[in-house]
Structure 1
Amino acid sequence: MPTLAVMNEENVTKGQSSGSSLHGPSTKEGADDLQTKSAVLHRSLKHDPLRVVSAEGHYLRLSNGQNIFDATGGAAVACLGHGNKRVRQAVMEQMDRVSYCHSLFYGTAAAEGLAKLLTASTDGEMVRAFFISSGSEAVEAALKLARQYHLEQKPSQPERKHFIARQQSYHGTTLGALAVGGHVARREMFEPILSINSSRVSPCFAYRGLRTVLEHESAYVRRLEAELEAEFQRVGPNTVAAFIAEPVVGAALGCVPAAKGYFQAVRRVCDKHGALLIFDEVMCGAGRIGPEPTERFSNPLHAWQDPLIGVAPDIMAMGKGLGAGYMPIAAMLANKKVIEALQHGTGAFSHGQTYQGHPLACQAALEVQRIIADDDLVANVRKQGVLLGSLLREKLSTHPAVGDIRGKGLFWAIEFVSNKATKEPFESTEAVAMGVHELGMQDPYNISIYPGTGTVDGRRGDHVILAPAYNINEIDVRHVVDVTDQVVKQFFRKYTDMSLKTRLVNGSW
């Protein structure tokens, strides 16, 4: 018998949508438009998505009349929710000034203001910012800057062309970012055209990385440090340009915080061999994990400022929460060491794009960051994040299909397993994470829960992510958890493959 996820797609194919399915033609508002096959190259060519006709606060109104609670902000993007009037007004005012100018010839107050705000937020660790349109582009720029840094050093080190990342990592979908990342499924089709100048070590993933329940976290960190050192030695320490990692892993593993001391160990290895450290904060940055204040960073914004991370990168990438989805924007920031190498060399970063430093995008992001600061939203992320995590564990930690609940701030994931004792994942063909997402999108749940796959080995392993807006309140947090709890329990209750039921242990159906 098919799983629920497959059954949903079959219903859509037969045209049985009544507004309770994620895909297919609508019978309500906007139905006439959707009866014709879309001209857009959507994520899927097998069905057209329902259309969003309006959005406000935490809710998306769909073309079939549903109001969906956006518990993920898309992909951890809409950190202020939808329809923020301050951002809209800021963009309109910028449009009255200038909507576009070419960054080769001109600068704007919007780009300058955003750059100064972001560099100031690092207490001088980062000294320059480069603005592009997506996280993938930010990572591409970071890789190119790392390479150029080594060429511009005195003496030049042209042999440094290798990048080390981590398995089950994702750093973007452009060819350079895809090549350095370790997302097996997304790499597979394009392997023949990807750069071979990269390799990967184990992620810092305590749930699956600890050898036994008795292994201490510090011993685990030492083991990972030794593995990284061995990889440097294998490829040749003087050939490594940089190590790249997400401080808190996002979609690839599902909101995995690093073990205490891990990034200090990584920094030791990089510094020992003259390699740069790149942090990909596209998903986990801009306040998303609610970094804890320290004596130095009383109002932290970046994930690396949290004591859990404890080290600053040489280059970092930002995205998603930077502009909250109001405009396409991402950023690459670099420290003084890197910038000075270029200043004393060619005097320029050998990279540029048409929409680099786009005035409307920069102004939107600048206003988003001002709102986050003015409303003290990172503090709210910390507060509501504690509640979100504790409620998820209270409701779901004993469920037979829930292996782990993890996260930080407003960035939490639930990993599903077919056997809690062995942590055995479901097979990828069973589409568990997508099935949970699709059920959540149906009446009476009406909630968006972000699905992720490949958690275990790049192919197998399912998790879902919750990443609501920073201005969420306690009532809405409880709503998100209550509905998520209902969706998860209903999904596995109605799961139609009886062979799977027999594999689930430590619980009853």
Structure 2
Amino acid sequence: MSQKVFSTEAPPSSVLHASLSINPPKIVRAEGHYLYTTDGTKIFDASGGAAVSCLGHNNARVKRAIMDQLNKVEYTFSPHFTTDAYEQLAKFLVDSTGGAMKKVFVTGSGSEAVEACLKMARQYFMELPEPQPQRTRFIARDRSYHGNTIASLSVSGHKARRAIYEPMLLQNMSFVSPCYPYRDMRKGETDEQYVARLAQELEDEFQRVGPNTVCGVVLETMAGLTLGAVAPVPGYLKAMKAVCERHGALFVLDEVLAGMGRTGTLHAWEQEDVVPDLQTVAKGLGAGYAPIGALLVGKKVVDVLSQGTKAFMHFQTYHGHPTACAAAYEVQQVIKDEGLVENCRKMGIYLGERLRDRLGVHKNVGEIRGRGLVWAIELVQDRVTKAPFPVQTKVAPTIHAAGLQKFAIALLPGGGVVDGMNGDLVVLAPPYTITREDVDLIVEHTAKAIESILGPAETTAKL
């Protein structure tokens, strides 16, 4: 693999990049698992962008489906019209839940899906036979992330991402502890005791804000980048749903990252034997071939709307976009036809084993965790105390840069895992199409990127 250092000196760009002082590498072509830059560097995309490109790049079937749809109709205004593409995708999603979810509202992104979800929750309570207008609140988790619109960021519990916008964010949100056993389980505490403690904390929060004021509890089925691929402890989601049901609140699962096969089942909640009232999906839905997300609405909510206004009091210019729907439907057919959910499961087990073999003894690796094809490496100053690196040292972003510049691999850096500010992660979210050979490559180049910054396994970094 090439080990070129990318030049940051380039003519001024009109794009508002993440950094105003550094231009990112320019990608001119993508094929399979690789991105190609202007200087010829071939980068292995081990992050799928932002856990999006689950089929890899340049898939012929999906490109053909997009062109076929463009030759039929590229856009309609969904409040006034429907298309075969929208109907087909919605039916696929409903059928994929065994009918547990009854209706689908397609959006342009995960953030928009969460926005629609919050509105749907509110409308549900306003359309009950005896409306409950006092229900305006939501409870979510600390260090969660649900999107970057004002409402979706308001229900996100990540301190660093909220920081400068805090005065603008909605005040009808509150937060409870995440399910994060690596740092939060007490010595000698069993899974059952830990789950009971978290459920009691949620119960206490209902009581604090007033049980009849809560629209819903919003959880990531499996925590994503801001907590770092943390799968729920057995029984956790069931216990949280039980608290919701006790107080008549909706149980909402955000599967923008974890859904559509990423964790080894099409819907991550299938592994937890729990069904949400409302669900969001996005990243793996369209695999990056078109901007798309979706809100899946459960029977309980649909039944209430059907007896009420018979309408969702929300729309967007691009909701139900036919070209995006056609792309997403074909992505899902490729996943089904090629057995890629099963490959996620198998390669995920192998990826976890290889990561632990290669990095499990490194003195700055606190925990390696994940499920399916999303894995996180939590980095610490000391494995015994679990002390994080100070945020100012920018350990994860520096490893990300080293991966690109020295080892031609794209990783996902994460931060704030400990308290919303401190705590570094390196996250891997490769395509569902990877092989054992790809896993070996990913692990070796990820390890080299980490060791180039923190030193080999027998040393402890002092940054």
- Alignment TM-score > 0.5, same fold: yes
1:22 Cα deviation from its structure 2 partner: 5.1
Kindly indicate whether residue 441 of structure 2 is the aligned counterpart of residue 479 of structure 1.
yes
Partner of 1:209: 184
In structure 1, what residue type is equivalent to 2:409?
I
Aligned to 2:152: 177
> Which of 257, 261, 269 is 1:304 aligned to?
269
Alignment counterpart, residue 399 of structure 1, candidates 354, 362, 365 = 362
Give the TM-score normalised by structure 2: 0.98
CA contact (8 A) 1:100 1:358 kept: yes
Contact 2:121 / 2:250 at 8 angstroms: preserved in 1?
A: yes
Paired residues, number = 461
Matches of 1:221 and 1:111, distance apart in 2: 40
- Evaluate the alpha carbon distance shift between residue 234 and residue 286 of structure 1 in structure 2; reply closer, same or farther with a 3 A threshold: same
Counterpart contact for 1:21–1:438, Cα < 8 Å = no
Question: Is it true that 1:344 corresponds to 2:315 in the alignment?
Answer: no
Q: Matched residues in 2 for 1:117 and 1:95: separation? A: 21
- Tell me which residue corresponds to 1:135: 110
Q: How does 1:68-467 map to 2 (within 5 A)?
A: 68-212=43-187, 214-291=188-265, 301-306=266-271, 309-443=272-406, 445-467=407-429
Off by >2 Å, runs of 4+ in structure 1? 18-23, 500-503
Amino acid of the residue matched to residue 285 of structure 1? G
Aligned residue identity for 2:37: L
Distance in 2 (alpha carbons) for counterparts of 1:276 and 1:225: 15
Give the counterpart letter for 1:202 in structure 2: S
Instruction: Tell me how large the CA RMSD over aligned residues is.
Output: 1.5
Code of the aligned partner of 1:318: V
CA distance in 1, matches of 2:414, 2:120: 30
Letter in 2 for 1:247: T
Is 1:53 aligned to 2:18, yes or no? no
CA contact (8 A) 1:412 1:467 kept: yes
CA–CA distance in 2 between the matches of 1:501 and 1:290?
35
Q: Which of the numbers 3, 13, 16 marks the counterpart of 1:41?
A: 16
Note the alpha carbon deviations across 1:368-423, whole angstroms, 9 max, x for none. Answer: 00110111110000011000000000111110000000000011000000011010
- For residues 317 and 461 of structure 2, the distance between their equivalents in structure 1, rounded to whole angstroms, comes to 53
Is residue 2:455 matched to residue 1:493?
yes
**Residue 94 of structure 1: how far off its partner (Å):** 0.3
CA distance in 2, matches of 1:112, 1:231: 40
Q: Distance in 2 between matches of 1:276 and 1:433?
A: 36
AA at the equivalent of 1:81: G
Matched residue of 2:103: which SS? strand
Gaps of 5+ in 1: 1-17, 26-34, 292-300, 504-509
Alignment correspondent of 1:5:
none
Partner letter of residue 107 of structure 1? T
1:292-340 residue CA offsets vs partner (Å, 9 max, x unmatched): xxxxxxxxx100011xx22000000000100000000000000111011
The residue type equivalent to 1:24 in the other structure is T
Instruction: Report the equivalent of 1:6.
Output: none
* 1:311 partner letter: V
Task: Quote the Cα distance in structure 2 between the aligned partners of 1:19 and 1:47.
Answer: 19
Q: In structure 2, how many angstroms separate the alpha carbons of the residues matched to 1:48 and 1:19?
A: 19
Q: 2:71 is paired with a residue of what secondary structure?
A: helix
Aligned-pair CA distance for 1:493:
2.1
Aligned to 1:507: none
CA contact (8 A) 1:134 1:329 kept: yes
The answer (yes or no) to whether the contact 2:52–2:284 under 8 Å persists in 1 is yes
Paired letter, 2:377: I
User: Aligned partners of 1:175 and 1:22: how far apart in 2?
Assistant: 35
For the Cα contact (< 8 Å) 2:3–2:408, is it kept in 1? no
Deviation readout 1:455-491 (Å, 9 max, x if unpaired): 0000000001111100111111111111111221222
1:501 deviates by: 3.6
Q: Secondary structure at the match of 2:304?
A: helix
After superposition, the C-alpha distances for 1:123-163 in whole angstroms (9 at most, x for unaligned) are 01101000111100000000000000000011000001000
SS of 1:250's partner is: coil
Cα distance in 2, alignment partners of residues 116 and 290 from structure 1: 22
Amino acid at match of 1:273: H
Is the Cα–Cα contact under 8 Å of residues 401 and 418 in structure 1 kept in the other structure? yes
Instruction: Note the C-alpha offset of 1:180.
Output: 0.8
* C-alpha displacement of 1:23: 5.8
Alpha-carbon offset, residue 19 of structure 1: 7.9
How far 1:20 sits from its partner (Å)? 3.3
Q: Residue 23 and residue 255 in structure 1: after superposition, are their counterparts in 2 closer, same or farther (change >3 A)?
A: farther
* Aligned counterparts of 2:129 and 2:390: Cα–Cα separation in 1: 52
Extract unaligned runs of 5+ from structure 2.
Answer: none
CA contact (8 A) 1:23 1:47 kept: no
- What are the Cα deviations for residues 46-84 of structure 1, in whole angstroms up to 9, with x where unaligned? 111121000000000011211000001001100000000
Q: Deviations over 1:184-228 (max 9, x none)?
A: 01111111111100100000000011111x211111001001100
What residue identity is the alignment partner of 2:4?
Answer: S
Could you say what secondary structure the match of 1:249 adopts?
Answer: coil
Q: Is the 8 A contact 1:452 1:462 kept in 2?
A: yes
Q: Is the 8 A contact 1:19 1:64 kept in 2?
A: no
- Match of residue 28 from structure 1: none
Which residue of the partner structure matches residue 12 of structure 1? none
In the aligned structure 2, how far is the partner of 1:80 from the partner of 1:286? 12
SS of residue matched to 2:312? coil
